[in-house]
Structure formats: structure tokens, C-alpha cells
Structure 1
Amino acid sequence: MRRTVKIKLSLNQNQQKLLQETIKQFKQACQRVVDYGWNRNGLKTYQKNKLHKATYSEIREKTDLPANLVIRARDRASETIKACVKKIKNGEKASKPTFKSDSIVYDKRTLTVWLEEERCSIATTNGRIKADFVLPNEYNDYYDKYLNNGWKITQSTIEKHSYEDDEPFYLHLGLEKEIQKNQSVNPTIMGIDLGIENLAVTSTGRFYSGTELFSRRERYEEVRGKLQAKGTRSAHLTIKQMSGRENRFACDTLHRISKKIVEEAISKDVDVIAMEELEKIRQKISNNKKFQTWAFKKLQEYIEYKANERGIEVKFVDPKYTSQRCSRCGTTLKQNRINQHFECKDCGYRVDSDYNAAKNIGFKTILDGQMSQSRMGNGQLALKSGVLKPNGNYYSYPN
């Protein structure tokens, strides 16, 4: 199980300038690797050994980055190209990546952390600097859970939050820990459908609204547009401050919803939570595409790590036809669904369309062989009341 803990760093002005220069050169190194891998003989190369041989010496010569940060830049570029290639293979558009965000990757060779002393040592373009953690006087549950509970430090990042002027650098500390998963021979699955009006709906009949989250996003966009039209320095600073408030609100909202979803799973003795593969739910994403994609991804991440902490496994399935298929008889027709209303043209089953989809997602986890081989076909679906076991090739249930 992997987690990331966000920790504010205390840096003096000289340290901030040095770290900013290191991030600048790290982004340049990433871009140099991408420039090579993206244009190589018209192909897109992301194999790390090829990228290393072609760019390592040049980057070492033209930057002040230590060797291990050059390698981390190569790895980030390689992973970025690979993600773009995957999109292209899936019929999506992907242009050559550009590295703009102030972020740099660190590993155990370039970052040393002393949790008990609440400080760290960071490699830069001019030696190492030491920074203290800015933590509450008394740990809240967030810090206590991860900093004092046997977690091991893994690859981390340091990022600059441009909307803050005072102490703008944060360490996103990577942690990992082995956990014991539930090993049920007859696992109970809870399906979750994601959407706009209902941000999440479970097969157990719980609805979590997305109205407040997306409505506030629209209000922020409206205000942001007016400020951008003014073009003044004051307006620009206000936009930065708004971005910080908006991000904090969105993350807090998604955290609270994910917590409630996992609590629902626990109350129903669920062993597996089934969700949609994010890459295949584009049809649900209308305007505000970038924000909606981010929100879905964040919610899934929060659900997954909260579920794993409680020994609940998380599976992802292809959502194809889950909105059009009847969760009672299995008939699949486009006409079955009209916005939030689902009515099967074959058996007459009527239900909320998102709830119907949530049940279908749970069904697919079992019927499409998403369970481990030893458990395949023995699963049961968690519903509003009780559970449901397979009946032939599909389910037959009146509610």
C-alpha cells in the first residue's frame, strides 16, 4: 500500500532560490529527454536505456544537476511519453508533453528524511540543503497515522505552490507499507458508478451528490474569467489565491465522500469495491472536462487508499454498456436509459440509471473474471438489503 503525505518545508530565501533553480534545471532535463524520445525517426521512444544513452551525457554537461536527479528526470520523461503512446493507441489525441509545473522527483539517494527530528536533506544543483518540517504542534490524525506507524519512505516529490508567497515549497513524501487483505472464498462486492449529478452511487443504494462540487467550480470559472479580463496585477494575485481555495475545497469534499463510501462498504461487510476504469468513461464527461476528469481520478484514489487500509480490495472494470444494460435481466439497449431514468424495454425494470449502472459494475467484477482465479465466480453483490449471488450467466433480482 502506498500513500503520499504533504509536508510544508521551512526554507530561507537563499534555499528557496537554490531549490527553484534545481527545479528549473530538472524541468529542462525532462524536456530534453522528451524532445529526443518524441521525435526519434518519427517514432515515440520511451525505453529508458535508449533515452539514457542518448541524453544523459548532454544533460550532465549542460546542467548542474547531480547524476541521480538526471536519472529521475529521464524516468519522469519516459513515463510521460509512455502515457501519451497509450492514449494514441486508444484513439485519443496526445501532443508532445511540455514540463511547466514546478515539481521535482526525489529518491532515497537525493532525499534524506529524519522523521523523528522532523527535517530532511535535499540534493540541489549546488550541494545539499536542510529543511525543517512545518507541522502542527500536536499531530492530527493525518500526520500521526503515517509518520509514526511503521511506514517506509519511497520516491517523493517537492513542489512549489505558486499561489502562496510565504514558504511555498512542499514535500510530497512517498510512503509504503505491507497490509493483510481480506481473503474470503465468497467475497462480497460493492459496485460504484461515477457521474456529474450524482458524483458516486453504490450498489448498496447510497447516493453522493456532485452538485455542490461542480456548481462551485462553475462559479470559480465565472469569477476567474472576469478577473482575467481585467488583466491587472491585483486580479492575477486574486486568481492565484482562488486556485488555492478551490483546490482545498475540492480535495476536502472528495475526501469526505470517499470516507463515507468506505464506511458504507465496511457496514455491509464488503471485501471488494468495484469501480470504472477512468480512461473509459469519457462519455460521462461534458464541459469542464479537465476538472471532472481530475475529480473522478482523485475520488478513486481516495477510495482506494482508504479501502486498502481496511483490508478491502479495489478492482477496476470496463464500464462499457453498464449504463444501457438492465441489472435485472441483462438486456442491453440504448433506449433503456434516458438521463437519470432507466426503464428496461424487455422486462420493464424501472430504477435510477446511476444505481442500475453501479450494480452492473459490481456484476462485471465477478462475471468478467475480475476476481482472482481461486475466487472467480464465487462472488456476491452487496445491495440495499442483503447480497445477491449469480443466477446463470446474469442476475435476476426485482429491486
Structure 2
Amino acid sequence: MLYMVESNRTVVIPLWVPEESRSDFHQTILPYAYCQQEAVNHCWPDTPKQPDDLQTSKRDVEDALYDRLREDTNEQLHSNLVQKAIKDATSAISSCKTSWENGDRISKPDFYDRDRAGYTMTYDKRAATYGRYEATLSTLNGTVTCRYELPAELEGTPYGEYVLDKRWSFSTSKLVFDGDRFWLHAVMQRQFRDDPVYTPQTDESGSDTHEDTHRVLGVDLNVDGATAVTSTGQFYGNADALNAYRSEQEQLRGELQQTGTRSAHLRFQQRRGVEWRYYDQYAHHVANSIKQEALRVRATHVAFENLTRIRKRISNLPKFQQWLFKKVRKYTEYKLERSGVTVDTTKPAHTSQACSRTDCDCVDEDNRDGKHFECLECGYTVNSDYNAAKNIGFRYLCEELSSPASRTCSSGQATSQLALVSGTLSPTGDFAEHEWVSTDKPHPQQASESSDSERSRVG
């Protein structure tokens, strides 16, 4: 059987919007935000007493509100933008419901805020046309074509790697106005065929999983490239774009502090909230993606590396000290809790330098060169983050699920599987083991070297 896996990458692209068209987007956000808030009001009763009082079904809300919202906006707002506004609202309510169930304090989302510095609108291909060098987006006053602002050298940038590669196609993306300029958070998709090393393992009964099966999804988290990579070959988030955004915000805050005026101080306070919400939304996006992949492959466990206190052992550069790893893991954990999926950690030692083939025990720092992994012994070649994700999942199988304490199934002996691109790997007999030693996450010297070759801010 041929297995296909879909990968998503987000490329953040600065947009050049014609001066006379900027107001078209500013006008469009008003009815769009109105639809968002009306959907929130519908989902959130006056005095909710428990999480289940919050409504999270997009279909139910759309059935109840779509016709009225189209009428309320005089049918000037594109029908698909009305649908996307409802989806934004139900997603926000769903996050509130999960936080409430997790014991966190919540408040009703407020989308209809005329004083906010920036805004976001979601566009799919029915309300937008995405090209390799420009995008055309629907507004209240017709469509607006926006050029991508690109650096002179595209090679090696996420834009060159994904947008210009015809193997990747545009999916539903977001237009973001940060108070100063416009950005396109372009979501690129690509399908991959099955893994060249592992072949699918299936139960003779034809059932994908059964009560005596442990299935692990390994997840590698990174400070560059994709923020999260799974053992099934999925790539989520864009850490390069996050680092570029962080650097831009730090520069803006510095300029505002130097200005010293009251208006600069007020803007400084306003930007701080915008920036925090951006990071939080980013972490939710990555965690939601991991959750959906875990449910798709019917994982019983999601394994991350245990990176507690790792900041003390690595570089002081901002991109290493401001990771969202803990937040991504925490969000993934509570998003999967209701589905009965366990989120746990395993030791990080040399997961990036060991070959992930179970018939090879090579562990060598020269196996990895940036995002490229090539085993010095067996020649296995693959993306280094994907290799690490498989090692993380397999280590969790070896050290956590192979112990007698982990065998809680009815038979007393669990079948353990690692979720891969092409299906699952079911180890037999003794688990293959490597000589794992200290962490291979960036050391100060490595971090300094990597900072000299940071990618362009497009991306």
C-alpha cells in the first residue's frame, strides 16, 4: 500500500500594498471583526457555569448565523470571509474551553476593538489568488493585488525553498496588519510518499490499533527551520520567521524607548500586548498541528525531548533563550488530554547525531550538517530534524514503554509501535539501543557559529 503524508510550512512574507488600497483592508476588517464578535457572542452565554456551556462547533454556528451576518454586512463582505470569521471565533472559543478545563482563568474573546493596533484576516483560495510573486485579496471595495517584498538573494530563504518550489502549493493563509505594515502568513503544502527505510506494519486483524497497542509519535522542537517535526515527517511552524519577527519587535521597542515621548510610551505598551498575543497564537498553532497529527495516526503517546533548564547550558543569544518549547508542549498536553493521549518527555542526549535506522548503531556528531543528516556508517540520508524526531519516539519506546511498569494493558504485555511516514515500526525482541550521551542541542560555540548564518527575514 502507498502511504502519503502532507507537510505544511508557514512562510511569512512582507507585502507591498498600494497606498490607495491600504484603506480597503482597514475598512474590510470592521465587518469581518463584527462577524467574529457576533459568533463569539453566540458561542458564549451570558453566565457560563461550566466549559460545556461554550459552543465550539463551527458548523452549528455557521448554520445559525451565516445568513444573518451576510445580511448585516449588506452582502458586501465576501461570503468566504464571513465563514472564516466564524471559524476564527469558534477556534478562539475552543481554546478558551480547553483552558477552562485545564483550570486556567479565561475571559471572553474581544474581536471588535476599534482601538487595536493590528488585525488578522483569514483567506482561502475562494477569497484570494496566490501567486509566486504577488497575492490578490478580496476586500469590501473589490480585490487588491499586493506584491511580495523580496530580498535580492532568494537562495536559501524559506521563500525560495517553499514558495518558488512548484512541489509546494498555497493553502488557507492569513493577512496580518501589525499596526505599521502588512504581512502574508502563507501556508505552503506538499505531499510526500512513503519513507524509504521503513515499511508499514499492520495487524493481521486489519485493525489499525487495539487495546494492547502503544503507538508513539516522536516530536523534535527546533530554534530554526521548522519549529516542530514529527516522526511521521510533518513539519510545523517557521522558527526562522519567528526569530525575524522577534528581532524586528526588539528593534521597534528600542526605537520607542529612545524617543521618550508620551505617545511613544503608549505605543510601546500597546506593542507589548500585540507581541505577546502573536507568540501565544503561534504556540497554539504548532500545538494544534501536533494534536491533529497525533489523532490522525491514532497515537497513544506523544514524546518530546526533556529540555528542562537547557537554557543554562547553551548560548545567551535571544533566539536560544526565548524558545516557546515549554508552551508548545504544555498546549499540546492539554489539547490531547481529553482524547486520552499521553504527552511525555524523554532524555535529549544525542537524538540528532544518532542514525535512526534500527539496524545501525552509529552515533557521531559528523552525521549531522545543519538540516542534512547522512550516516557515516550506513549512508542513510534524511532531514536531520526528521531523523531526530524518529530517535525521540524510539527512545521513548525503549526507555519508557518497554519497562514492566508501563504494561498496563489487559494482556499485561503491550505491542509498542513508532508512528512513521509509511505506517508504523514494531520492534521485536530486544530493543535496539545506542550509546546515548550528553545533550546535542546547541552549545555556546555552535550557537555563535549558527547565528552568523541566519536566514533572510523573509520567511
Partner of 1:349: none
* 1:60 aligns with one of 47, 70, 92: 70
Partner of 1:179: 192
Partner of 1:146: 162
Deviation for aligned residue 1:154: 0.4
Structure 1 residues 109, 300: closer, same or farther in 2, change over 3 A?
farther
Partner of 1:127: 142
Give ranges in structure 1 of 5+ residues lacking alignment. Answer: 195-212, 255-272, 282-290, 302-315, 324-357, 387-399
Considering fraction of residues, name the structure with more helix.
Answer: 1
Alignment of 1:155-170 (within 5 A): 155-162=172-179, 165=180, 168-170=181-183
Partner of 1:384: 436
In the alignment, the residues of structure 1 paired with residue 164 and residue 217 of structure 2 have an alpha-carbon distance, to the nearest angstrom, of 32
TM-score between both structures, scaled by the size of structure 2 = 0.48
Maintained 8 Å contact 2:417/2:424:
no
Maintained 8 Å contact 2:163/2:188:
no
In the alignment, the residues of structure 2 paired with residue 295 and residue 376 of structure 1 have an alpha-carbon distance, to the nearest angstrom, of 29
In the alignment, the residues of structure 1 paired with residue 323 and residue 56 of structure 2 have an alpha-carbon distance, to the nearest angstrom, of 25
Maintained 8 Å contact 1:277/1:317:
no
Structure 1 residues 111, 299: closer, same or farther in 2, change over 3 A?
farther
Alignment of 1:46-57 (within 5 A): 46-57=56-67
* 2:304 aligns with one of 275, 286, 292: 275
Maintained 8 Å contact 2:154/2:160:
yes
* 1:109 aligns with one of 120, 126, 146: 126
Deviation for aligned residue 1:81: 1.6
Structure 1 residues 143, 374: closer, same or farther in 2, change over 3 A?
closer
- Once the two structures are superposed, residues 77-112 of structure 1 have per-residue CA deviations (whole angstroms, 9 ceiling, x without a partner) of 122222222233333333222236500000001110
- Residue 82 in structure 1 maps to residue 94 in structure 2: yes
- Residue 71 in structure 1 maps to residue 86 in structure 2: no
3-state SS in 1 of match to 2:344 = coil
* 1:7 aligns with one of 9, 13, 16: 13
TM-score between both structures, scaled by the size of structure 1 = 0.55
In the alignment, the residues of structure 2 paired with residue 190 and residue 62 of structure 1 have an alpha-carbon distance, to the nearest angstrom, of 47
- Once the two structures are superposed, residues 276-296 of structure 1 have per-residue CA deviations (whole angstroms, 9 ceiling, x without a partner) of 699xx9xxxxxxxxx978454
Deviation for aligned residue 1:126: 1.6
Maintained 8 Å contact 1:38/1:44:
yes
Deviation for aligned residue 1:170: 0.5
Q: CA RMSD in A?
A: 5.0
- Once the two structures are superposed, residues 319-346 of structure 1 have per-residue CA deviations (whole angstroms, 9 ceiling, x without a partner) of 38x79xxxxxxxxxxxxxxxxxxxxxxx
3-state SS in 2 of match to 1:178 = strand
Maintained 8 Å contact 1:119/1:132:
yes
Deviation for aligned residue 1:299: 9.7
Deviation for aligned residue 1:5: 0.8
* 1:234 aligns with one of 261, 264, 284: 264
3-state SS in 2 of match to 1:159 = strand
- Once the two structures are superposed, residues 154-178 of structure 1 have per-residue CA deviations (whole angstroms, 9 ceiling, x without a partner) of 000000122xx3xx00011111111
Structure 1 residues 234, 96: closer, same or farther in 2, change over 3 A?
closer
Alignment of 1:182-331 (within 5 A): 182=195, 183-184=197-198, 232-237=262-267, 274-275=303-304, 294=324, 296-297=326-327, 318-319=343-344
Maintained 8 Å contact 2:216/2:303:
no
In the alignment, the residues of structure 2 paired with residue 2 and residue 193 of structure 1 have an alpha-carbon distance, to the nearest angstrom, of 15
In the alignment, the residues of structure 1 paired with residue 277 and residue 97 of structure 2 have an alpha-carbon distance, to the nearest angstrom, of 29
Partner of 1:25: 31
In the alignment, the residues of structure 2 paired with residue 246 and residue 50 of structure 1 have an alpha-carbon distance, to the nearest angstrom, of 31
Structure 1 residues 50, 377: closer, same or farther in 2, change over 3 A?
same
In the alignment, the residues of structure 1 paired with residue 100 and residue 216 of structure 2 have an alpha-carbon distance, to the nearest angstrom, of 36
Maintained 8 Å contact 1:120/1:132:
yes
In the alignment, the residues of structure 1 paired with residue 43 and residue 56 of structure 2 have an alpha-carbon distance, to the nearest angstrom, of 6
Number of corresponding residues: 274
3-state SS in 2 of match to 1:318 = strand
Give ranges in structure 2 of 5+ residues lacking alignment. Answer: 1-6, 202-214, 223-242, 284-301, 309-320, 332-340, 348-393, 407-415, 439-459
In the alignment, the residues of structure 2 paired with residue 299 and residue 8 of structure 1 have an alpha-carbon distance, to the nearest angstrom, of 29
In the alignment, the residues of structure 2 paired with residue 235 and residue 365 of structure 1 have an alpha-carbon distance, to the nearest angstrom, of 53
